[in-house]
Amino acid sequence: MKEPTACPDCLRRSRLLAHLAPYIERIATGAVGSRSPELLRLSNEDLAEAAAPKVAAQVLAQVEAVPEETLRADLLAAQCWACCRHDSRFPSGLHDAADAPWALIGRGDPALLERLEPDGAVTVVGARRASTYGRGVARELGRELAAADLVVVSGLAFGIDACAHRGALEGGRTVAVLGCGADIAYPGSHRSLWRRICERGLVISELPPGTGVWRWTFPARNRIMAAMAGMTVVVEAARRSGSLITADLAADLGRDLGAVPGPVTARGSAGTNDLLAGGACLVREAQDVLDAMLGPGVRRAERSGPPLEAELREVLIAVERGEETCDAVAVALDLTGAEAASALATLEALGYLSCSLVGSYSRTLLAVPGV
């Protein structure tokens, strides 16, 4: 496929954002990023005037003076390409947002751009400080959604985001939207994940290569994630989590909003439970997302595992009941340690169970056929 294209004006807009980043940072503090998407609605001149009144003219002139060759050479040097709002491959969902970016700078497979449509992409976000439960669900959900041929969009952050990406890489394709240049792996410890997404998926940003992170760039990238996908699923979030901003932005655009329920006692799930109470779509598994996005039963998520013998079923039920260690399973079903170990390992190998670093088992989303 042909490389996507971007006109110089749109590229200069992202240059301008990078130049103004420190100034926007100064006025967009306060409640996390509450003002930055509004600012981003403004025209170049108004934005510069609003963010940096003293040097507005100077910055505008500076950006205007950058020759087109330099803009393109910078992209090439960072192994990136760009796609602007005038290109037909620009994700159509973004046209719905008044504050949409003018251009997307991408690194990775440009063919994925065409699949970033509201009926082909789902955004999975959640807290950085996620529990084992949340991370497990994010990973499973990411894998199943990607396997059901949806593009999984997330933000490469710690916790839920990274797990959703990892799961999606196992099942299909994923897109990471960054709050810095697409050539920068942020956070740094996700460098290898960033590299894998660059190779097998797509990393995009509205900022030019080399731009660092600012506080306002995170809510700003959230608006891109919210607008691009047909549905936003919040896996786990506390009441003041940044992922609720993404949820708000998605709801404002009329996108579907889903949330994964958590224990009512868990502070870390209070935000998602609130979303559910407020009418968000209940997400227990990938099928819930597919039904909400595409209509009930239009596409089926492949999520049944191989059939199980009666003994293994019993062990699985014991784990579902909350017997989480091998010892607890052995006692509950009166098995020897060896029998319980063998059954758990078999169920884990079949994908019905996952085991934490400290040896406690939890149920995956994989369903047993015929149940």
Residues that bind other proteins (CB under 8 A): 128-132, 134, 166, 265, 268, 324-328, 330-331, 336-338, 340-346, 348-349, 351, 355-360, 362
Closer CB to other proteins, 294 or 331, in the complex: 331
Cβ atoms of 365 and 141 within 8 Å: the answer is: yes
Q: Give CA–CA dist 229/214, Å, rounded.
A: 24
SS (H, E, C) 252-268: HCCCEEEECCCCCCCHH
Contact 346, 319 (CB under 8 A): no
Local structure of 216: helix, strand or coil: coil
User: Closer to other proteins at the Cβ: 45 or 327?
Assistant: 327
Looking at the Cβ atoms of 134 and 209, the one nearer to other proteins is: 134
Planar angle of CA 333, 334, 338, nearest 5 degrees: 100
Looking at the Cβ atoms of 307 and 337, the one nearer to other proteins is: 337
Distance CA 59, CA 339 (A): 71
User: From the CB of 129, what's the least distance to other proteins, in Å?
Assistant: 5
Q: How far is the CB of 270 from other proteins (least distance, A)?
A: 14
| Cα-based distances in Å from 328 to 230, 309, 347, 363, 368 | 43, 20, 16, 15, 22
32/355 with CB nearer other proteins:
355
Q: Among residues 26 and 195, whose Cβ is nearest to other proteins?
A: 195
Placement of tokens 């597919």 in the chain:
290
Output the smallest distance, CB 290 to other proteins, in A: 24
The CB-of-160 to other proteins minimum distance in angstroms stands at 11
Q: Residue 22 or residue 306: which is nearer to other proteins going by CB?
A: 306
Report in angstroms how near the CB of residue 171 gets to other proteins at its nearest. 13
Which residues, including other chains, have CB under 8 Å from residue 265's CB and lie 6 or more apart? none
Residue 337 CB, shortest distance to other proteins, in Å, is: 3
Q: Which is nearer to other proteins, 304 or 356 (CB)?
A: 356
Nearest one of 97, 154, 96, 99 to 130, comparing CA atoms: 154
Task: Return the half-sphere exposure (C-beta side, CA atoms, 13 A cut-off) of residue 142.
Answer: 31
CB of 360 to other proteins, least distance (A): 6
Whole-angstrom distance, CA of residue 77 vs CA of residue 239:
42
- Residue 354, helix vs strand vs coil: strand
Q: What is the rounded CA–CA span in Å between residue 156 and residue 180?
A: 11
Nearer to other proteins, 42 or 328 (CB): 328
Cβ 353 to other proteins, closest distance in Å? 10
**CB 330, min distance to other proteins, A:** 5
Among residues 9, 1, 87, the alpha carbon closest in space to that of 44 is found at 9
Beta carbon nearer to other proteins, 15 or 363: 363
Rounding to the nearest 10 degrees, give the CA dihedral for residues 5, 9, 14, 16: 160
Closest CA to 162 of 183, 184, 182, 187: 187
281: helix, coil or strand?
A: strand
From the CB of 220, what's the least distance to other proteins, in Å? 25
